[in-house]
Amino acid sequence: MMSITTLERRPADQRGVAEHGWLSSRHTFSFAHYDDPEQRGFSDLLVINDDRVAPSRGFGTHPHRNMEIFSYVLDGMLEHKDTAGNAGRIVPGDVQMISAGAGIAHSEFNGSDRDSVHFLQIWLLPAVSDTPPGYQQRHFPSSEKRGRLRPIVTPDGADGSIRIRQDARVHAGLFDGPESATLTLVGDRHAYVHVARGEITVNGQRLGAGDGLKLRHVDAVSLSQGHDAEVLVFDLRPVETDFY
């Protein structure tokens, strides 16, 4: 049976909302008290939380298990500490990955006492469970993302990317004006596009900041007509996951 290509827009203004004073968060998929049966992840992608944290505030130590979790900082500085002894600061251009495996606890705080921090926290299901926890951090300069899709997360660490324990790849790109790029997908794949900021056209769909696009059974993702756009593109297995 031939697989049918579909495109489904996920509007920014329909995301879940959490306002806690020190934290302003938007949930692309079901998370915590926000539960939408139609938005319980996409393939192995379970969480995209668009978080803004007030100066000197953050998330106290809390546990994770059997999840691949990465943070992508857009503005400001995020500080991390975990029970495996890892600690560091994450700034724009950095990607930090925690492979929670059999179990790890960590804290995340805004490292500034003056400015807020704006970041994306993203969760993907691992291919295997109860593995030893892992930690990685890499910097990807804007020059490597300008007008192209730079691999930042891959299963094999290709091109200096961060390794993930899943058949998933994440690309990041910056697009403005005539800049464009096409990501060719090998085999029958799903893809998800998240616009972190700005505006861009993806496979004929115009998207703005916070918008997403689910693409099922596609062979390519094409981006063009960007306006100060920063974009993440997820290359995913063609499965429908309902984790909750």
Domain boundaries, the chain: 6-236
Lowest-pLDDT choice from 3-7, 167-171, 177-181: 3-7
Q: What is the pLDDT of residue 242?
A: 62
Check pLDDT > 60 for residue 217.
Answer: yes
The mean pLDDT of 181-210, rounded to a whole number, is 97
Residue-level length of the chain = 244
Check pLDDT > 60 for residue 243.
Answer: no
Q: Give the pLDDT band of residue 191 (cuts 50, 70, 90).
A: very high
Q: Give the pLDDT band of residue 8 (cuts 50, 70, 90).
A: very high
Check pLDDT > 70 for residue 1.
Answer: no
Check pLDDT > 70 for residue 85.
Answer: yes
Q: Which carries the bigger pLDDT value, residue 63 or residue 242?
A: 63
Q: What is the pLDDT of residue 111?
A: 87
- State the average pLDDT for the chain: 94
Predicted model pTM: 0.95
Q: How many CA atoms lie within 13 A of 17 on its CB side?
A: 6
pLDDT tens figures, 146-176: 999 999 999 999 999 999 999 999 999 999 9
Q: What is the pLDDT of residue 36?
A: 94
Q: Which CATH superfamily is domain 6-236 in?
A: Jelly Rolls (2.60.120.10)
Check pLDDT > 60 for residue 190.
Answer: yes
The mean pLDDT of 26-30, rounded to a whole number, is 97
Percent of the chain at pLDDT above 90? 84
